[in-house]
Structure 1
């Protein structure tokens, strides 16, 4: 079925020569960047993008099959579990712009090393024609070099002064990033509606891809400043009376865990309440799993998290305790809801784990229990 679907999608793509296809990959931030870019491009013309994060050999063809002669842009997020997955998707989509955000540790259990992950992500750039544009993040040691030796145009993005598209004068206001977006066209203020400093990289990726398509700086900055969370359970704020909960339960890896913890602490500093990091397992980390979980536990202590609540695993917890941070353990979601009885008005709670842990249920149950206690 998927082979026939792929051939059909290729046929549709070949019949739409004016359609601009943008492919996105990376260890984290793919779906948020995809959503930002589609929002941005919709201000210019009809656009299509993957539903949710359907980014595999089924989702990418289905996305292309939604395009027609009126579609101006198609944004396709590409994921991978094995070498060759992205190369196959590139053959189907034939993108005009290829965007690689970052190479991190997500799925390292599947690939074995970060180098293998980088090789897989690089299939996106390898699959581009020389007439296409490579858009490359500068947040790791692999991504900036993925187009080395190629004749194609390259647009770099990040926070370094050498980046073609960059963010300057970044500051957080109520947990949301404000910065000046700098492109070859000039400089324009952007105020993100999305929560967390890590959203700057996602916004810059979308801005750089839009720049590759010739979209004006004014249009880009205006769209980024109005874009809201489009996909469920990604740094979504839930509030009930005086309790604020960050529902980031869609997925988790070491890099996204660290970013979410830093956002938790920054929000609590503004509100003055205690911080509660309710964390579940990070999957697919292979032999480094225990080490990565322990590292997140240490980070939570180092940056000043008040309470670390580990659910379904003790790997986040230190046997000796971690400074002033209070550690809690619950075996499952059902028992973890009890932690709500320890919350106080003004507290900030983070709920985060890998998708398979189902922590969106825990987030809802916590808010319901808090409401019932008031």
Structure 2
């Protein structure tokens, strides 16, 4: 269920001019003319290399009920479609989202960010809260200045909670997202070197993440942050007016994690809160997922302290998000799809998980980590050392900067026939196909732009199609 808009209401919300009104209400929004639903509004976005106005007529023909445009470079009389003219369609989209968000007085909006794990943490929060509450959340990776407003506009007006993911790769980006989403509570999953090529230092990354705390809309709102970092003072400074809740292995953590045991199938850990200690089971592998789970648990338990035991039990039924440490068994081979994103911290955890697997043959298929800038070579070499220490049978690398990964793996003792730099998806798939046997475990890990699902599909055509 989503809100339906009258044309005049929408035009007033975005300070737009109605060029044409077909009398129909707007139901849904799309920025892609190929994904039009009946009576939705097609938003024509104009960028440096793309102009969505070229597709206005095709959107109308596909059944769009309205067009939001910043130019009239098309035949607006064509089709039974309303037309609203604005100065800038992205700004108008953001205005509409903020207008709608502020109308939802009974919905608690939760903002989630972090260098790693924000999508997993977001989906865990949704899983915990949705057991007895109506929840909405970000779909896929709609977490930027365009995706976040679209997420807000699709929030069910009857939702008790809306979990909103916020991505960033530069300072002040989260500040601007908070102005749109106006969050009531916030979670920072962690701070790592993702986007360090743009932001320069880990401290700058921490400051950029802290913008979500500064962006909370009311004094006393909850802000959850990681304590296992040298930048806690940044979060504490940002949250002077908030109820700060820390989590991690540090003794200072309000939600303290201990006794983490990760196996091929699950992760067991304990969490201490106040005077109690709880045993937790997460049926998702990976030590890092214990931290994601406790971040979610800290947020949910701070909102509803009386439900902590219920939340802990609910964790057991959590299933991973597609292509994020997603475990699939096919033809006797265990496939770990973690090819949605990659940075130094998440790579380290993925290799640690693969190393701990009880498997006849362990293969890591690794791609470039993007947006590392001047320190890219350094981090890819560190990855090579980590791979050589991970008891792998094969390290297969595809990309540009992974040449440093292979070089460092060789320098640290991996044989040349086991640490291999490859040049194409086809070559990688063919080599991998020849190595796989029953009982093997293969990890696919790379930044999203590497499109590693293509390699997966060359070997298993029915897998890897639903990355989001």
Give the shorter-chain TM-score range.
Answer: over 0.9
The aligned residue for residue 372 of structure 1 is: none
Please, which of 160, 163, 172 is the counterpart of residue 253 of structure 2?
163
1:36-75, CA deviations, whole angstroms, 9 ceiling, x for partnerless residues? Answer: 1011110131001100121011222222222344210011
Q: Could you tell me whether the CA contact under 8 Å between 1:37 and 1:206 is conserved in 2?
A: yes
The aligned residue for residue 11 of structure 1 is: 99
The answer to whether 1:287 aligns with 2:377 is no
How big is the shift at 1:221? 0.6
Please, which of 113, 119, 136 is the counterpart of residue 225 of structure 2?
136
Please, which of 260, 282, 291 is the counterpart of residue 192 of structure 1?
282
Q: Distance in 2 between matches of 1:84 and 1:211?
A: 29
The aligned residue for residue 57 of structure 1 is: 145
Secondary structure in structure 1 of the residue aligned to 2:295: helix
The aligned residue for residue 3 of structure 2 is: none
Alignment of 1:1-374 (within 5 A): 1-128=89-216, 129-143=218-232, 145-148=234-237, 150-184=240-274, 186-215=276-305, 216-229=307-320, 231-267=321-357, 270-271=358-359, 273-313=360-400, 314-318=403-407, 320-324=410-414, 326-339=418-431, 340-367=433-460
How big is the shift at 1:195? 2.0
User: Structure 1-normalised TM-score?
Assistant: 0.92
Secondary structure in structure 1 of the residue aligned to 2:312: helix
For this pair of structures, how many residues does the alignment match?
365
Q: Distance in 1 between matches of 2:454 and 2:390?
A: 27
Secondary structure in structure 2 of the residue aligned to 1:53: coil
1:157-182, CA deviations, whole angstroms, 9 ceiling, x for partnerless residues? Answer: 11233311122322223342112233
Q: Could you tell me whether the CA contact under 8 Å between 1:321 and 1:327 is conserved in 2?
A: no
Q: Could you tell me whether the CA contact under 8 Å between 2:227 and 2:252 is conserved in 1?
A: no
Which structure has more relative contact order (CA 8 Å, sep 6+)? It is 1
Q: Distance in 2 between matches of 1:344 and 1:177?
A: 26
Q: Could you tell me whether the CA contact under 8 Å between 2:137 and 2:155 is conserved in 1?
A: no
Q: Distance in 2 between matches of 1:225 and 1:211?
A: 16
How big is the shift at 1:107? 1.0
Secondary structure in structure 2 of the residue aligned to 1:305: coil
Give unmatched runs, 5+ long, in structure 1: 370-374
Secondary structure in structure 1 of the residue aligned to 2:183: coil
User: Structure 2-normalised TM-score?
Assistant: 0.74
How big is the shift at 1:351? 0.9
Give unmatched runs, 5+ long, in structure 2: 1-88, 463-468
Q: Could you tell me whether the CA contact under 8 Å between 1:185 and 1:217 is conserved in 2?
A: no
Secondary structure in structure 1 of the residue aligned to 2:244: strand
Cα gap change, 1:179 to 1:235, in 2 (>3 Å): same
Which runs of 4 or more aligned residues in structure 1 lie more than 6 Å from their structure 2 counterparts after TM superposition? none
Stretch moving more, 134-143 or 278-287: 134-143
How big is the shift at 1:259? 0.5
